[in-house]
Amino acid sequence: MSRYDDFYRQSIDAPEAFWAEEARRIDWHTSPTQILDASRPPFVRWFAGGTTNLCHNAIDRHLAARGDQPALIYVSTETGVERTWSFREMHAEVQCMAASLIELGVGRGDRVLIYMPMIPQATFAMLACARIGAIHCVVFGGFASGSLATRIEDAQPKVVVSADAGSRGGKVIAYKPLLDEAIRLSAFKPAAVLLADRGLAPMDLVDGRDHRMEALAARHAGAQVPCTWLESTEISYTIYTSGTTGKPKGVQRDTGGYAVALAASIPHIFAARPGQTFFCTSDIGWVVGHSYIVYGPLIGGMATLLYEGLPTQGIDGQPDGGIWWRLVEKYKVSVMFSAPTAVRVLKKQDPALLKQYDLSSLHALFLAGEPLDEPTARWISEGLGVPIVDNYWQTESGWPIITIANGVEKKPGKFGSPGLPMYGWRVKVVNESTGEELTQPGEKGVVVIEGPTPPGFMQTLWKDDARFVDTYWKSVPGPGVYSTFDWGIRDADGYFYILGRTDDVINVAGHRLGTREIEESISGHAGVAEVAVVGVADALKGQVAVAFVVPRNTAVAQGEGAMQLEGEIMLRVAGQLGALARPARVHFVGGLPKTRSGKLLRRAIQAVCERRDPGDLTTLDDPALLERIREHITG
């Protein structure tokens, strides 16, 4: 048995002893009295009785040993700003932000919705919430007003923290009008809005509700705000992820379990240590940004590099396909974490850029968010000359489920596979109809996780335990297992391969989008009678959304006015759900293929789009409709 195999078996066979040892990696104000409470499955409580604080573990506990070392390195190629904060300077900034939130009435257990670009104030706000025991809910800064409104209604935040604008590719995106419209649409109205003014777009302030961050910061400069010690099982944050219905799911995370999981992952998975630099190119609006831009590296005593800009945009705003490697050299980055889509973008650049900089500090590039194709993996591996470590996880898991734990034992990766189950994760492949485990190598089934789930995993869905159980724990027959909603296989060496979704969630450039949410937006157009949206494989983004619309005016299906209606649908989706959700194409058809019971066969439509065999069509009420879709696409 290899070293990692033994390590993994300990985590599965004796989880209390295993995680009690890992819990020593963080500071506890009060030691836990019970390491694991799995008495009410599928709900799991980790480190019950213990009290701790995420902000203390990310900032305060490092002040004595490395207070003057870099903690946050901020680089914006959008605005030309480049600045570094030490742990001591971060400590002051976070306390100032915490005092500002307290002035606005925020206390323990209150929600704070953060709708911000990739700027330092966003990280200060997250850590300030953690410091005072408030629950932060970060919403990706590119979301449109409609999507933002649903999250405001669900989270019911006391305060919203935002900014005048974000910028992408030199194009300014005004956030304040989007936020104002979202609050207008929402049935719940936050008491206050705290705004960072970057000088990028004018802001009309609502009297009595809106506050300039700079004004409050001036009042609270030098503030001393002690950490609020939270029960390990208290909520640290919620984060929304797409579901198979239009209503997004508010994934709820605990405090102590999450801190321990991240603290353990830094040495075990990323093979990193205090004083090094971690560069994650994600966004704080996604779980990867929560775990490995903000909390994970800082808990591990590392500097974290916060980047605003495109992967091919220089600090002066001019094209620069080597900007990331320039930053790796300048800040001696040890660990880099990105997504396959970003690497595919970089493949279009001059390959000489990969050899132009001193990358000797970099010991691995981690990629996640979507399946990693072999050509992309080989290209970047050969270009950088460092291990490319694929990893598989979800918003719900909080940290990697499947990868290679090189910090425990260096093992070879396999192209196309994220790797092996990580310690604490009981991963299986099961038959979707019977729930029976598939033990033969290469047998395709649903990837599931057996309880009890490890620290860092979601507690439940915000204000909806029933949906948590029904969605995740009852979709596969047999004894309760958590469904990842991904197809997968396992090879003879135990390596897993992820083959795509079993549900109607698609993955566009690493971002999960619910096709039903897009369908609901399109069906609201007066000219649409019926719609189906599917995810179609795309060489750059992994998947893109493609819509098939049955128009109310049958002449549109023959081409009359089709271009105008397609444009209106595109604008509608972008306006309600954001540009990420906008379909790549809208096809107008006379009808959609359904079973005799009326079920829409999205998988068959997807197969036709991808030039694959759609499989058994005997259940179709009218197979000719699918054939007409094929002719429409090829024509």
The per-residue pLDDT for 621 is 63
Contact yes or no for 126/159 (Cβ under 8 A): no
In this prediction, residues 281-291 reach a mean pLDDT of 94
Per-residue pLDDT for 292 more than 90? yes
DSSP assignment string, 540-574:
TTEEEEEEEEEESSHHHHTTTTHHHHHHHHHHHHH
Residue matched to tokens 């992408």: 168
What are residue 606's phi and psi, to 5 degrees?
Answer: -60, -45
**What SS3 string covers 189-254?**
CCCEEEEECCCCCCCCCCCCCEEEHHHHHHHCCCCCCCCCCEECCCEEEEEEECCCCCCCEEEEEE
Of 210 and 317, the structure prediction assigns the larger pLDDT to 210
Structure tokens that stand for 14 in this block = 């004796």
The per-residue pLDDT for 176 is 97
Per-residue pLDDT for 622 more than 80? no
**498-528 burial: b if 16+ Cβ within 10 Å, else e:** beebbbbbbbbbbbbbbbbbbbbbbeebebb
User: Going by C-beta distance under 8 Å and a sequence separation of 6 or more, which residues neighbour residue 424?
Assistant: 11, 12, 15, 18, 19, 453, 454, 455
Per-residue pLDDT for 595 more than 70? no
d(CA 412, CA 345): 26
Band of the pLDDT at 400, cuts 50, 70, 90?
Answer: very high
d(CA 242, CA 464): 15
Alpha helices, DSSP H, located in 498-622: 515-523, 554-557, 562-577, 602-609
d(CA 290, CA 126): 9
Band of the pLDDT at 365, cuts 50, 70, 90?
Answer: very high
Q: What is the DSSP letter of 24?
A: G
pLDDT tens per residue across span 47-70:
999 999 999 999 999 999 999 999
Angle among Cα 36, 42, 43 to the nearest 5 degrees reads: 55
Of 626 and 3, the structure prediction assigns the larger pLDDT to 3
Partners of 40 in beta bridges:
43
How do 230-231 and 51-52 pair as beta strands? antiparallel
Band of the pLDDT at 507, cuts 50, 70, 90?
Answer: confident
Per-residue pLDDT for 264 more than 80? yes
d(CA 144, CA 163): 15
The per-residue pLDDT for 578 is 84
The per-residue pLDDT for 618 is 55
Band of the pLDDT at 580, cuts 50, 70, 90?
Answer: confident
The per-residue pLDDT for 245 is 55
The per-residue pLDDT for 1 is 66
- What is the dihedral sign for C-alpha 26, 250, 101, 198? positive
Structure tokens that stand for 35 in this block = 């390491």
Q: How far is CA 318 from CA 78, 118, 338, 351, 462, in A?
A: 10, 19, 22, 18, 43
In this prediction, residues 125-130 reach a mean pLDDT of 98
CATH numbers and ranges of domains, the chain = 428-465+476-501 (2.30.38.10), 505-634 (3.30.300.30)
Of 293-297, 309-313, 496-500, 541-545, highest mean pLDDT: 293-297
The per-residue pLDDT for 596 is 53
Band of the pLDDT at 426, cuts 50, 70, 90?
Answer: very high
Angle among Cα 452, 498, 256 to the nearest 5 degrees reads: 30
